[in-house]
Structure 1
């Protein structure tokens, strides 16, 4: 039985390519496309594998894109369990304009998902004989999956005593937080909504984070700050920050998922919470070094983590 499970209900087949000059109305000749499995939880599982850990990715998959997703995960030796859906899984497109070095990302909406499909994940999680240590629910919800899907996972987590980590946004985040999550990872833009505010002044961010904890919405709050690292908030130790070294950025794609992967591995290894966030920030920073949609690399992650340890 896997001790770490990731859940993705809106996966994507990510296609990336490049062109020398992107202009409107002209036929753009592109390089041969590269295909990668994508979607929040799937990327977390892929990053966990790259960092030397093991997990099982649970996701919905339909049509030829869903078949390709599974083939790609087999190639990466990532364990998974896929629920077949009637409608095709979505495809995303990323194009790099080589002439100016800019990246264009086209995200497609998910297809209509039926109750008998997404409920298979709920039912299986409820009935697992061996309870996992950590479940990571990550990414957006496709049409047909209710806003309280992550809330339903939280109910199961509290009933079956495993630790749930949620990385999502909007109504799905707010409803999940009403059931008390082990760890939430909003970004700065998502934090105000957790505190039921429209916006938060940067100087008030720490007070808002502690308010979220006091209201019982989660036990641990990690607010991602982009290239400035992350803020950790716990009731026991209050607020602390992890600031990564400056690195030459290739692409920020996959940084958030790599960060979550690093944190869950840190938790599994028994790190204290500040080191958990340091390892997560190291993995997230490592992902920004890589080109395109490539996730973190283990060597880069370990090097940045050692730097963070030396600069506590």
Structure 2
């Protein structure tokens, strides 16, 4: 039994490299590339494993690139339930400009799934959920998958008596109407969801509460990048600061936060203590090259450093 099941509808092979300087039209010589298994739910699963908890990753895989992805997952010892598809698994790549330290990410759309293929993914996720506590869906939807796919998954997960956590954006997020335990948009994604700018904490709290009072989700975690995160419940809220670290790679930090948060829930931690684990896991991933999860010792040290001082009290009401 895996207490956590992850769903990655648009997995990828993540290629990362660096060059002295990124410049238009020039031929840029790059360092030896690094190859990692990628996609939101896969990143979540790898951090869950790094934290020492069982997990099962559900994902569609196809084509020659899919064979490579399966090999990468096997090498990373990620337990998987794979749904075979006709299309080829996508590749994504990132390039770090050594001169400026900026990272440029290029994200491809993924293969087109047929109705039969995405339906098999949905059934496989529900089947796996029956022996789980939490189902975490993270990442984009590939072409061919209807934008209400995550809503269908949320409905069936809730119907099975399990908790559903969603980290996505765009129309896939806007189509979520009910059934989630927690959603984790960024501030920008939440603004897109409600259809207007959210320039400050008060406006973000109000927007998050719209999701809660509307029955979309019981909890909302708004990721704020270097400013940490905003956690909102029905009658309380709290800001959780980030841990300053030297960033080696930003890809997958949000997924690591979701992983730590979910692991915290499975261990019986309250929401704010679970968030501390999530922030520690995200910070550890930032100092790791590629999309590798943070090392367990690094996560533990960062968590210990954060929790040696009393956590702030949450704010109730408005």
TM-score with structure 1 length normalisation? 0.93
Q: Shift of the alpha carbon at 1:128?
A: 5.2
Of 278, 285, 297 in structure 2, the residue corresponding to residue 287 of structure 1 is: 285
Distance 2:279 2:249 in 1: 15
Instruction: Report SS of the residue matched to 1:28.
Output: coil
CA separation of 1:28 and 1:246: change in aligned 2, threshold 3 A: closer
Distance 1:193 1:103 in 2: 24
Alignment match, 2:198: 200
Distance 1:63 1:273 in 2: 41
Q: Is the 8 A contact 2:34 2:290 kept in 1?
A: no
Of 270, 274, 277 in structure 1, the residue corresponding to residue 272 of structure 2 is: 274
What are the within-5 Å matches in structure 2 for residues 168-183 of structure 1?
A: 168-176=168-176, 178-183=177-182
Q: Shift of the alpha carbon at 1:160?
A: 0.6
Distance 1:127 1:288 in 2: 33
What are the within-5 Å matches in structure 2 for residues 29-68 of structure 1?
A: 29-68=29-68
What are the within-5 Å matches in structure 2 for residues 225-304 of structure 1?
A: 225-236=224-235, 238-304=236-302
CA separation of 1:27 and 1:244: change in aligned 2, threshold 3 A: closer
TM-score with structure 2 length normalisation? 0.91
Alignment match, 2:208: 209
Q: CA RMSD in A?
A: 1.8
Q: Shift of the alpha carbon at 1:19?
A: 2.7
Superposed CA deviations along residues 63-109 of structure 1, whole A, max 9, x for unmatched, are 11111111111111110011111110111112223344332221111
Alignment match, 1:184: 183
Where has structure 1 moved over 6 Å in runs of 4 or more? none
Distance 1:255 1:25 in 2: 31
What are the within-5 Å matches in structure 2 for residues 43-192 of structure 1?
A: 43-127=43-127, 130-176=130-176, 178-192=177-191
Q: Shift of the alpha carbon at 1:129?
A: 8.7
CA separation of 1:126 and 1:303: change in aligned 2, threshold 3 A: closer
> What 5-or-longer segments of structure 1 have no aligned partner?
none
Alignment match, 2:314: none
Instruction: Report SS of the residue matched to 2:175.
Output: helix
> What 5-or-longer segments of structure 2 have no aligned partner?
312-318
Aligned length: 309
Alignment match, 2:316: none
Single out whichever of 224-233 and 16-25 deviates more from structure 2: 16-25
Q: Shift of the alpha carbon at 1:49?
A: 1.3
Distance 1:145 1:308 in 2: 40
Distance 1:65 1:230 in 2: 35
Q: Is the 8 A contact 2:35 2:290 kept in 1?
A: no
